[in-house]
Structures are given as C-alpha cells and as structure tokens.
Structure 1
Amino acid sequence: MRDADIEQLCQWLTGAGLEGMAEAALLQQLCERCAAHGLRLAGVLVIIDTLHPIHEGRAFVWRRDRAESVEVVEYGRTDRGDDATERWQRSASFRMVADDATEIRSRLLAGEGLNFTEVEALAEYALTDFLALRHCFAADAVIGEMDSVYVNWLTDAPGGFDDADLAALRRLTLPLALAIKSAALARIVATLAEVYLGTDAAQLVLQGRIRRGVAERIHAVLWFSDLRGYTTITDTAPPDEIIPLLNDYADQVISAICEAGGDVLKLIGDGTLAVFKAADPAEACRAALQAERTLRSRLRALDAERGAAGRPVTSVYLGLHVGEVFFGNIGSESRLDFTVVGPAVNEVARIASMCRSVDRHMLLSSEFVAATPAEERADLVSLGRFALRGVGRPRELFTLDPELVAAGAATEG
C-alpha cells in the first residue's frame, strides 16, 4: 500500500469519526478500502470496554467470508471465573495488559500465537500472520473499564504481513482507535442519560434541554409504586439481602412499565415514579393498566422463586392518577434533576400510600378512571372518598373489583 493510499485512509477515518459513523459501518468500510488497495485481510477484531450496567464492552468482528456485515458482540464481565474469563485470559489482548505491552506480532507460519482466542476464531482460514495492537488512554481519560482500544489484524496472505503491510496497519490503527473511541463515548453518554433519567428525559437532555427552569407542561398518567413492608424487611432481613431484594422487585416494576410504553423518571428508595404519555389519555391509561397486569404476573413468579430459596418476599403497592404536571429541569446551577413536579405528583404518591390503609394493592383516582376506556372501567369499583395528606379535598379512590379478584377474573397481588 502506497504512502498516499495510507494517508488517504487515515484522513477518511478521521472524517468518519468526527461525523459520528457507527463502529460497525466504520470497520466494514475500512476493510473494504484496505482490500481495494491490495491489503489481504482475513479478519479484523476491534474491542473497546464501556460503561454500562450489564455489558463490560463491545467487540466488532469483520471476516472476509462475511464481508457484507460486521458482527457486534456485547460482552459481560470477564472476571467472573467462567468460560468468558478463560477466553479472555487466552487472548492477545489479555497478554498485552498483563505484560503492559502495546503490540504483539505472531508469525503464525512459525507456530507463534496459535493458541490466542482471536486466532482460534478464524481457524478455518490458513492464517499466516497476526498483529495485535493496543492504544491506552491517559489515566484521567479512563471511563469505567474503558482504558484502551484493541485492534487485531489477521491475514492468510502467503508469507504473512510484509514490512510495508505492518507499517500501514500501525498507521491506520491510530485514527481507527480514535474514531471507535469517539463513537463509544457518544454511546456511553446516551446510555448513562437513559439509565439515570429515563428514555424520554434522556432524549430531551441530549437534544440540549439542560437549562435550569426550562420545563414543559404535559398531561400524563402518573404511576407511583413502592414495596409493602419495606421498612420491616430492612429491619429484620440480613443486610446483604436488602440490595438484591430491591433489585429483584425494581427489575419487575421497571420492565413492566417500559414494555407498556411508560417512562421511569425516578427511583426513590423502594419507590418508583413513572409517566405514561399518549395523544389519547385513554391509551395512556390502558398502557398503565397493562403494565400493572404484567407486573402482577411476574411478581407471582418472583415471589415463588425467592420464597423457595428462603429469601424475603414482598409485593408492590401502586397508585395511578391523571393530571397536568411540569416536566423539565429543576435544581441549582450545579445540580439539576429532570423530573415532573406539580400537585398531581404529590397526589399519586398519597394515593399509593393509602393502599396500606385499605388493604388493596392498587388504587386509582377518579380522574384516572374517567379517562380509562369503558371496557377497562368495568373491572373497577369505588372504595369511597378519602382524605389524603397534603391534598386539600377528599378524593374518591377506585380499585379492582374484589369479587372479580376472588373469582380469578382479575388479578391483584
């Protein structure tokens, strides 16, 4: 590959990275351009760790026999002592970390590096050479586990990589690593925003809605739920059981809300505040009730599983309300919260807290019931009017018809 060709590819990589090209597309196009310039590649693997609650990082795999697409692999923890750990410890990437090295060249024709997992993954090729490169970040640029980019180049060219090939790959790896890091950082920002703010709020923040005091008036279904007897559980259960309990039940609550189209805005200890928005309020109410049904079904399975293991179990109290709220940034100049505020938020929390007094798992406001489709309202009955703490007037509250629940036609807890 000529110097002019290498320079052209470096400039293209830099531009693609600045434009925000996705990692898979970036790698695929680079490999196609390398092939067009006569560089024979059998496979290329790019690895970068990330900051994610589940995944440790992402790998991008290009193979010449599947050149129409790049495989994207999101991998979990590599320190769990399982098969993933064993594969990581046999990799060239691990060797570079262990030896504090930035490059490994394995002349496969001479029997070097044949046991590296990157080489074994392409065993069907008659591989001749392998170049593994690692670019490390400065200490103050490390984010979570993301402290390096690994780029592995493999060929089946007779005789392996020549000196010109090696020089070209070393020059190309630097802008490639920078472009991959740029895309990974953008992904991390989006992930953190969504994980901590919720989907809708994250999108608004990433679009630039970060000024203090900027809020939107919306009409939405409000969901507030918390765990029954949580204080008692924390006082009596072993301390190392509290976080797993919260995680198990929060997972069921949050997944049910999100699958039904709701958006979780805030986790407050054992409580969850969420909204359901739709052009038609009836659709938002229907979605919230669907989330509740999904949640109850999953809680029965979770309770059975935890009970069989001798672990503490609980259930979820839920309040549903419809009202107008302000949705936006609230806080100080240095610390903002993207949330909903307004009297309706206070009311839905008070409605949920009434579940304990009336021994029901779900309570709904009269506004929610009025907006609910007729076929859904048929299963709801009034429990009467109640004074809610901090709310100026008594509110009529509804629940699932106890007779339907007893007969199995409706489910609650």
Structure 2
Amino acid sequence: MAIDVGDICRWILDTGLAGDGEQALLNGTAERLRAAGVPLTRANMVCDTLHPILEGHAFRWRSGEDETAVIAYGRDHDPDSWANSPFNHLEQSGAPMLLRLLSPATDSEFSYLAELRAEGQTGYLATIVRFGGTGGDGIGVGGMECVYVSWITDHPDGFGEAEVAAVLAIMPSLGLAMRAASLSGIAHTIARTYLGRDVARQVMSGRIVRGVAEKRDAVLWFSDLRDWTRISGSLPPDQVIPFLNDHVEPVVAAIHAEGGEVLKFMGDGILAVFPADDRHAAAERALAAAAAARQGLGDLARMREGADLPSTGLYLALHVGSVFYGNVGGPDRLDFTVVGPAVNEVARIAAMCRSVDRSLLLSQAFVDALDGADQQVASVGRFALRGVEVVQHLYTPDA
C-alpha cells in the first residue's frame, strides 16, 4: 500500500519558508516518515558549502535520541573514505538512489555498509537531489551542486517498495528546503568573511543604501608589518601570500578576541576598530589585543626561525576619535567602512613608527582614554603629521 506523504511535503515547505535550519528539517522529516510507516532508525545528510576553511556539513538523526550532531568537515577529509562511499557512487554514476538489503555480500561493496550491518542495521537507502542552473550572471555558489541523504532501517526485510517510493517522493521538497537553508548560511558566511562580523550583521540586515552613515566613537587600530616591502621583494612569488597570511592571522585573532572588528586589509596593513561607548574600556581592550598580537607574532617568529624561514614584527598605532560608519562608493559597488579625520590621523601616526623607531605609538586622545589605568606611557615627542592640522603628541608604552 502506498504511503501518503502529502502532509510531509507541505510541512517541509512550510518549515523551509519559516527559515528553520538544516538540522530541524532533517529531524522533522525523519520523524514524520517514521510516523507514516517508514521504519527509519537513522538518517544522515551531507551538503557542501562555501567557506574559507570548511568544505561542508553533515547532519544526523537517530530514532529515540534527543541529541543531534552537526559535523563540519574540511578540505583535508580522507579522500579514500569518500571514494569508497555510497554518496560518491551516486555522484559518479548519475543514479538517483542506491538501495541495499545489508548482507555479507554488501560488506565488500562499501565499507560503511559493513559497519552498519555490524551495528544491527538491515537496510540502506542513499538518495541525492541535484541542483541545476546558476544565477542570471552565470555564477553559481561554490561547489554546492547537490544534497545527499541516507536512510537506514533495522527492519528484518529492509526497506519495502512503498517505503522507498515515499522517501523518493519527499526528496524534491526536502532538497529545495535544504538548498534555501544552506544558501542563507552561505550568504552570512561570505558576508562575515569579506566584511567582518559587525559589518556583516548590518549589511545582511539591510543597511546597503549608499550615503547612510552613523557617527560613532571608536578606538582605531592601524598596523602594518615591519620591512614588508623588502621582505615581499625577496620572497619567491608563491611564498608572498602564505607569508602574509601567517603574519596576519595572529593579529586578527588578537583583535577579535578583545571585541575589535577588522574593517579592511590593505596589503600588509590592517584597519580595525574597537567600539568605544566606554572609551577607557575600549582603550584597555585595544592594548590587550596589541600585547596578544605581538606575543603571537613572537611565537610565529620562533617557529619560523626553527624552520629557517623569515619573519617580521608589527608597527601599530592606536588612536581614539569619532568616525562615520557606513556605505561609501558608487551606486552598485559599495564599501562599508569608517571615514573621518580620526582615520587619517591614525594612519599618519602609524607611518611615524618607522621614523621614531617605535613598534607601538599611542595618540594623546588614546592616552587620555587610558586615564587611571595601570599602563605607564612615555612621551615620544610632538609631531606635525602630513594632512593633519593639529600637532600630535605621541607616546609609547613605558617598558
């Protein structure tokens, strides 16, 4: 007898439209199939993503278990394991499904099926929904070409014909809802990766109108690498970007750990902000990030020295001021960034690090914000900075 899955398909579409995530979709679908008469004990879903580190996510459901597991897998996953998997068989063969009643004969076909049989499972159904087409500009989304779902049972006879038909009937709806959920996650990942965490939240919430700006108080961070021009010119071309990434990573980690936001990478330069509703607290967080960044670069230098590789340190300026935070650019190409005199000032202060041979310079405004802190500072002098009207009194931490 056929199993009616109309209500299940409607639930899948309603849940997808409500914006629920992949795990909720898998859980609800598996539970409803089981209630309809499909003797499911387990379900697993795999879909690729677009992420700088991860290749995809795997979701799992187990009958009778409240806890679920989401597994993120990277590009360093075992290629042999994937090559010998039912999902890879579907990808390579172009088949819509793979159905097996588990037996000693299936053990040698796929090692995963042998594991399932050893755990008391009897039937296995692998399904795939392939995604076709790209956007109007001909650009797709990374490697997200399909979603795989496996369905597992411990019924003595495995899956019957009606049960297989029921699963196949819900797959287009499930694939569509999963694609929508995954694309939403990918959009947020891309925004965070290329814009930063706070800017991504603002852009994804709708702040994309040119000219809309917000005035904020902020601690401004401007840093670049010591001797970068000389080092980059001496490195083989294929080592320039890895060198830069190795040295930027501990700096970005230190900024984020203290609540800062990286707004822009400019070659080896970094512009970051620490929101300064409380200027004193923000200044202390920025100093803590500076110490952590220098420690991280020191650790990196020792590691690279052991491998006979070059390394370098950091020039850094810290300043406090009011900035305008918003969209700048052309009608269809915008940059969400900070502008204002304080931004120019912190860049000019950073440029002074080389002239006065100091790795860290603090503006008068920053030192004022530190008032009452334990940090002791020493005057470096008063300087007229290019493009800055007021002479700047600069300081450095007193060792």
Distance (Å, rounded) in 1 between the aligned partners of 2:245 and 2:374: 31
| Residue of structure 2 equivalent to 1:132 | 126
Alignment equivalent of 2:103, drawn from 109, 113, 116: 109
Number of residue equivalences: 395
Would the aligned equivalents of 2:53 and 2:74 in 1 still touch at CA under 8 Å?
A: yes
**C-alpha distance 115-72 of structure 1, shift in aligned 2 (>3 A):** farther
Give the aligned partner of residue 411 of structure 1: none
Deviations 1:13-44 (A, max 9, x none): 01101111111122122222222223211211
Letter in 1 for 2:386: R
Q: Sort the Cα spacing of 1:334 and 1:373 in 2 relative to 1 into closer, same or farther, 3 A.
A: same
Aligned pairs (5 A) from 1:172-251: 172-251=170-249
Q: 1:387 aligns with which of 377, 384, 392?
A: 384
After superposition, give the CA deviation of every residue in 1:327-382 in whole Å (9 maximum; x if it has no partner): 010101110000001111111111111111111110010001101142244x2111
Identify the residue that residue 297 of structure 1 maps to in structure 2: 295
Judged with a 3 Å threshold, the aligned counterparts in structure 2 of structure 1 residues 113 and 47 are, in CA distance, closer, same or farther, namely farther
8 Å contact 2:101–2:157 — kept in the other structure? no
- Match in the other structure for 1:22: 21
Matched, 1:370 2:368: yes
Offset from partner CA, 1:94-127 (integer Å, 9 cap, x none): 1122223332122213733665355355455322
Matched ranges for 1:31-180 at <5 A? 31-64=30-63, 67-77=65-75, 80=76, 84-109=78-103, 111-112=105-106, 115-116=109-110, 118-120=112-114, 122-140=116-134, 142-180=140-178
What is the alpha-carbon distance in structure 1 between the residues aligned to residue 6 and residue 133 of structure 2? 29
Corresponding letter in the other structure for 1:108:
L
Once residues 108 and 37 of structure 2 are traced to their aligned partners in structure 1, the CA distance between those partners, rounded to angstroms, is 25
The structure-2 alpha-carbon separation of the partners of 1:230 and 1:120, relative to structure 1 and needing over 3 Å to count, comes to farther
C-alpha distance in structure 1 between counterparts of 2:382 and 2:115, whole Å: 67
Post-superposition Cα deviations, 1:27-80, rounded to whole Å, max 9, x if no partner, equal: 122222222223211211111100000000111011236x21221011011xx5
**How far 1:145 sits from its partner (Å)?**
1.3
Deviation (angstroms), 1:157:
0.7
1:400 aligns with 2:394: no
Please state how far the C-alpha of 1:393 moved relative to its aligned partner.
Answer: 2.4
Report the TM-score when normalising by structure 2.
0.95
Q: Which amino acid letter does the alignment assign opposite residue 101 of structure 2?
A: R
- Matched with 1:410 is none
Same amino acid, percent of matched pairs: 45
- SS across alignment from 1:94: helix
Q: Indicate if the aligned counterparts of 1:385 and 1:395 stay in contact, CA closer than 8 A.
A: yes
Letter of the 2:218 counterpart: A
**Alignment pair present for 1:343 and 2:341:** yes
Select the residue among 245, 260, 263 that pairs with 1:262.
Answer: 260
In structure 1, how many angstroms separate the alpha carbons of the residues matched to 2:279 and 2:167?
A: 58
When residues 118 and 149 of structure 1 are mapped into structure 2, their CA distance, relative to the original with a 3 A threshold, is farther
> Does 2:313 correspond to 1:319?
no
Counterpart Cα distance in 1 of 2:251 and 2:273: 13
| CA contact 2:106–2:113 (8 Å) conserved in 1 | no
Give the distance between the partners of 1:373 and 1:180, measured in 2 at CA: 53
Opposite residue 85 of structure 1, the aligned amino acid is P
CA distance in 1, matches of 2:95, 2:58: 20
Contact 1:214 1:329 in 2 (8 A): yes
Assess if the C-alpha contact under 8 Å between 2:378 and 2:395 holds in 1. Answer: yes
Compute the displacement of 1:139 (Å). 3.9
Q: Aligned partners of 2:71, 2:93: CA distance in 1, in Å?
A: 26
CA distance in 2, matches of 1:185, 1:54: 17
The code of the aligned residue for 1:329 comes to N
Counterparts of 1:13 and 1:24, CA distance in 2: 12
More displaced 10-residue stretch of structure 1: 340-349 or 23-32 = 23-32
What 5-or-longer segments of structure 1 have no aligned partner? 405-413
Residue identity matched to 2:55: E
**Could you list the runs of 5+ residues in structure 2 that have no partner in the other structure?**
none
Following the alignment from structure 1 to structure 2, what is the Cα–Cα distance between the partners of residues 64 and 50?
Answer: 27
Cα distance in 2 for residues equivalent to 1:116 and 1:265: 48
